[in-house]
Each structure stands twice: as structure tokens, then as C-alpha cells.
Amino acid sequence: MEHGDCRSVDDVAEDVGVYRDWSRAVVLRLLLPLLAAVAACSAGLYHTVRPGENLYRIGKAYGVPYTELARVNGLENPDEISVGQLIYVPGARRQLPVSIITPRSANPARPRQSTSGPVATAAVAKRKPRAGAAARVPSPPSVTTALGAARRTTANPGPAGSVNAPSGKEVSEFGFSWPVKGTLTSTFGARRRGHHDGVDISASNGTVIRSASAGKVIFSDKLAGYGNVIIIEHDRGFTTVYAHNERNQVKKGDLVERGSRIGLVGRSGRASGSHLHFEIRKNNIARNPLHYLPPV
Ligand SMILES: [Zn+2]
């Protein structure tokens, strides 16, 4: 049903007003079905798209399939929604918070199945191997030095928690560099519950976080579960997300260069240890950051 078909409560009340002189019982008998029809029909509101949201998540927050939102709003491409855009949500009665980052499950150090694609070219360092880790790895990781200068392998990158993430000068073909120097402890992809929309880079408290590319800060605030979060908008529809920060050192509207200091690593929000949760999104869809960053 198009929301334009719905009549407002006022319209209905006007019609009902004709019967004002009737006995109360008769009016109620007429009124109730009308009000029920209004309740079923007119519920719905416009949701204002905020940074980091996408149609799928908006739909999830309101319990409406994103395909239905796309249809009702006449969106040919559900990926192409922008911040500030109004999305009509049929059936909704009040604006609901939309989780802009998928909630993460607790244990980032747990080894995970790696994702496919360019991540497979990531070299694996043997730094601080954990007891028993090798037994859970399908194929043994090869060895490289920090900053990925040495041997590379096309094998499975092995357990999360063993890949060094360089930061600084190296830039990928997409214009991104690593936001922090640390150890990759969790990769992008399916988790036991839900989906991990980024990578986790373990680094000690207070380690400098640098913008992965030039852009404009569109969000710098706290977010439930994610603590201090920064979201930076780049060109070509890219945004990057930096979460669990000890401190944000930029504010909304700031322009940053690639490599600009934007904050400090911490464990704010729901984090089991000091680390950076980092996402790269294109048109608000989280992509595997390892596909867009320089190889480790
Ligand atoms: Zn994370």
C-alpha cells in the first residue's frame, strides 16, 4: 500500500463529526472500525538518514524489509541513499535508532576463518604466537617481518592476531593507508553472531590513529557499544570508521589529510582490550578493508 493512500486521523474525525448528534453508542460503533483502519493504514514516518546508515539497517531497525523500503520510496538502487535523505518507513510510529555498526561479539582474539580475495595475499608474521594457535590454523602461516617487507604468501593468512598492520607512508591504489600501527586481531566477515563490518587492530592505549585517506569528518561522538567513534567521508563514495577510541581529536566538519592525526587508540565502548575497530564503506556498505588497504 502506498502511504499516500492513507487518510489522517483528522480526516476521519471530520467524517465522524457528522454523526455527533447520534447516541454515543452508535458513534462508537462507527468510530471504532474507522480508527482501526486509520491505525493500520496511517502508521509510518519519514526517517532521516544519518551517517553510516544504509537501507538494510534502517529496515532492520524498523522491522521492514529493505526491499519494501526501496519499493515504497521508489529507489531503484537501494545502495544509493545519502545522509539527510528522508526514507518513508511504512508502519513506523516513531524514529528508531539505527545501528550504524553491526554489534560485535566479544572475543576479538579468537581465530577466525579468513575471508577470500586479496586478503589471501597478506603476509603473516610469527610475532607472539599463542600457544595452541597453530593447531587451529588450517595451513601454517609463513613468516615475514614487521611492515610486511619480507616474504609474502598466497596461503591462508592464518589466525587473526598474527598479522602486523603497518601505518604511515604506504598507500594502496585506492588511496588508503593503515590508520594505526598494530596487530590485526580480527578480520572482516561472518562472526558467530552477525557480521564483523571491519577489522580490529590491536594497539596500546594512546597509540595515534591517523586518517586512512583525505576527507571530511562527518561524525565524531560516542556511540553505544563503540565508544568514541569518528567517521570520515572521502571521495568516490568512501567513508572510513574508527571506533573504541580513547579520545577523538577531530570534530565534525574538520578536513583531514591522509595520515592526519585524528585520535588515540583506546577501549571505549564494549571492547575487551585496547584496539581500533576500523571500517571502510563504499556507498554505506561495509567492504573488506584488507581489499582497500596496502598489503600487510
Ligand atoms: Zn571490530
- Among 90, 105, 128, the domain-final residue is 90
Distance 55 CA to ligand 1 centre (A): 21
Same domain, 31 and 138: no
Distance 279 CA to ligand 1 centre (A): 8
Looking at residue 18, what is its pLDDT? 41
Q: Does 217 fall in a domain?
A: yes
Looking at residue 206, what is its pLDDT? 97
What's the average model confidence in pLDDT over 182-206? Answer: 89
Q: Which long-range contacts (CB under 8 A, 24 or more apart) does 2-10 make?
A: 2/72, 3/44, 3/72, 3/88, 3/90, 5/41, 6/38, 6/41, 6/42, 6/44, 7/38, 7/41, 7/42, 8/38, 8/42, 9/35, 9/38, 9/42
* Cell numbers representing residue 133 in the block: 594457535
Q: What is the DSSP string of 235-261?
A: STTEEEEEEEESEE---TT-EE-TT-E
What's the pLDDT tens digit per position in 112-153? 333 333 333 233 333 333 443 333 333 322 222 222 322 233
Q: Does 243 fall in a domain?
A: yes
- pLDDT at residue 70 greater than cutoff 50: yes
Same domain, 28 and 167: no
What's the pLDDT tens digit per position in 248-282? 999 999 999 999 999 999 999 999 899 999 999 99
Contact 54, 284 (CB under 8 A): yes
Q: Does 284 fall in a domain?
A: yes
Looking at residue 6, what is its pLDDT? 42
Same domain, 29 and 136: no
Same domain, 271 and 125: yes
Q: Does 112 fall in a domain?
A: no
- pLDDT at residue 207 greater than cutoff 60: yes
CATH code for the domain of 275: 2.70.70.10
- Among 44, 73, 90, the domain-final residue is 90
Same domain, 66 and 209: no
* % the chain with pLDDT above 90: 36
Same domain, 195 and 151: yes
Looking at residue 49, what is its pLDDT? 78
* % the chain with pLDDT above 70: 60
Same domain, 128 and 198: yes
Looking at the structure of the chain, the number of domains it has is: 2
Same domain, 121 and 261: yes
Distance 200 CA to ligand 1 centre (A): 5
Looking at residue 295, what is its pLDDT? 87
* Cell numbers representing residue 202 in the block: 590491536
Cβ partners under 8 Å of residue 148, min gap 6: 122, 123, 164, 166, 295, 296
Distance 288 CA to ligand 1 centre (A): 12
Q: What range defines the domain where residue 232 resides? A: 117-291
* Cell numbers representing residue 111 in the block: 581465530
Phi and psi at 134, nearest 5°, equal: -60, -35
Distance 235 CA to ligand 1 centre (A): 24
- Among 90, 105, 132, the domain-final residue is 90
The separation between CA 206 and the C-alpha centre of its own chain, rounded to angstroms, equals 24
Same domain, 138 and 209: yes
Compute the half-sphere exposure of residue 6: CA atoms within 13 Å on the CB side of its CA. 19
Instruction: Supply the pTM of this predicted model.
Output: 0.50
Cβ partners under 8 Å of residue 33, min gap 6: none
Q: Does 102 fall in a domain?
A: no
d(CA 92, CA 96): 9
CATH code for the domain of 13: 3.10.350.10
Distance 85 CA to ligand 1 centre (A): 27
Same domain, 86 and 138: no
Same domain, 11 and 78: yes
Same domain, 163 and 78: no
Q: Does 99 fall in a domain?
A: no
Distance 63 CA to ligand 1 centre (A): 25
* Cell numbers representing residue 198 in the block: 571491519
- Rounded to the nearest integer, the mean pLDDT of the chain is 70
Distance 107 CA to ligand 1 centre (A): 10
Distance 127 CA to ligand 1 centre (A): 21
Looking at residue 193, what is its pLDDT? 72
Looking at residue 91, what is its pLDDT? 73
Distance 93 CA to ligand 1 centre (A): 32
